[in-house]
Amino acid sequence: MASISNLGYFVLGVSDLAAWERFAVDIIGLQAGRRDERSLALRMDDFEQRIVLVKDAADDLLAVGWEFDTAADLVAYVARLREQGVAVAEAAAEQAAERRVERLFSCDDPNGFRHEFYVGAQRAWMSNGFRSKLMRGGFNTGRLGVGHFVAAAKDPAATAAFCERALGLRVSDYIRGELAPGVVLEVNFYHSATGRHHSMATAKIPFPFPKRIHHIMVEAQDMNDVGLAYDRCLKAGLPIMMDLGHHPNDQMFSFYVQTPSGFALEFGAGGVVVDDANWAIRSYTQLSDWGHHHPHPPAQQA
């Protein structure tokens, strides 16, 4: 069965492009790529773009891009989605060009953003290699893709069915973490073929949540880059949403900073890669082994 290779890009709708560029380039260590009046492409590696910022009042996730190894895999996958009754449209050539990919399809997620499916992402020329002015090492991308995101599930059962049956994502594990007595955050974690512990997770958040996503995550190769990015956030006075800590399931050492759009960006290192041949699905009762404390309570955040 044709399956997704990896999560290759994020498209974020942001109201303040200039603030986002400063955050992405001067704090996180991404590189500004192509731009026009209403969008800015951010680079993390030798691809032309990994995170696309589009001027949009939503300040939320607009789309995620799932990469396929071959056009045949992509076409077979789309056919299977349609057999299950999912409405999938092929994008016009101009839209595919905007995403810097060869062929592009999309469908809606039950939680208000779009899934895009593609082959043939453009890499930058050698003469235009990725350069971060801040990172000691690179970002951990390649076959593992851009990183991960956690969607806020409006209807957790329908969302799980969509991820597992329609998208064909594989369960990595579960966390059922008690935030306060009787208040449980339920998170399902999903991986694709190349095995980043999770490319997508869905959360049943036990209080009203204004965004489609809780966070996106980017991963550094060098743990010191996590600490250095953390120091840059503190120096810039940015709101830390969750302090340095360690997750029990993906083994990520990370912190969470509030982006200019209000949702969080997790900056991490050390995430595990799933090998389906010997992976055991577990259920955890703790979101973090240590740390990840909330210096700024979520209620105070936009």
Residues contributing to the site for Fe ion (CB under 5 A) = 217, 266
Pairwise CA distance, residues 300 & 302, whole Å = 7
In whole angstroms, how close is the CB of 48 to Fe ion at the nearest point? 25
At closest approach, how far in Å is the CB of 192 from Fe ion?
A: 16
Nearer to Fe ion, 77 or 113 (CB): 113
| Residue 237 CB partners (closer than 8 Å, separation 6+) | none
Q: For the chain, what percentages of helix, strand and coil (3-state, to nearest 5) are there?
A: 20, 40, 40
Tell the smallest beta-carbon distance from residue 118 to Fe ion (Å): 23
Q: Are 238 and 19 in contact (CB under 8 A)?
A: no
150 and 141 in contact (C-beta within 8 Å)? no
Supply the minimum distance, in Å, between the C-beta of residue 96 and Fe ion. 29
Measured from the CB atom, the residue of 75 and 185 that comes closer to Fe ion is 185
User: What letter represents residue 177's amino acid?
Assistant: G
Residue placing its CB nearer to Fe ion in the complex, 43 or 214: 214
Nearer residue to Fe ion within complex by CB, 116 or 266: 266
With respect to Fe ion, which residue has the nearer C-beta, 106 or 140? 140
Nearer CB in complex with Fe ion: 2/150: 150
The CA–CA distances, whole Å, from 144 to 197, 202, 250 equal 9, 19, 14
Phi-psi category of 172—alpha, beta or left, where left has phi over 0 and alpha has psi -120 to 50? Answer: alpha
Q: What are phi and psi of 248, to 5 degrees?
A: -75, -25
Contact 14, 59 (CB under 8 A): yes
Cβ atoms 145, 196 nearer than 8 A: yes
Minimum CB distance to Fe ion smaller for 84 or for 286: 286
Give the nearer residue to Fe ion in terms of CB position, either 53 or 217: 217
**Residue 256 Cβ vs Fe ion, minimum distance, rounded to whole Å:** 8
The residues, any chain, with a CB within 8 Å of residue 278's CB and separated by 6 or more, are none
Q: Which residues contact 299 (CB under 8 A, 6 or more apart)?
A: none
For residue 149, list its beta bridge partners.
Answer: 200, 216
| 289: helix, strand or coil | coil
Q: How far is the CB of 103 from Fe ion (least distance, A)?
A: 30
Query: Shortest approach of Fe ion to residue 132 CB, angstroms?
Result: 21
Q: Which two tokens stand for residue 185?
A: 């955050």
In the complex, the smallest distance separating the C-beta of residue 165 from Fe ion, rounded to whole angstroms, is 24
Neighbours of 151 (CB within 10 A): 23
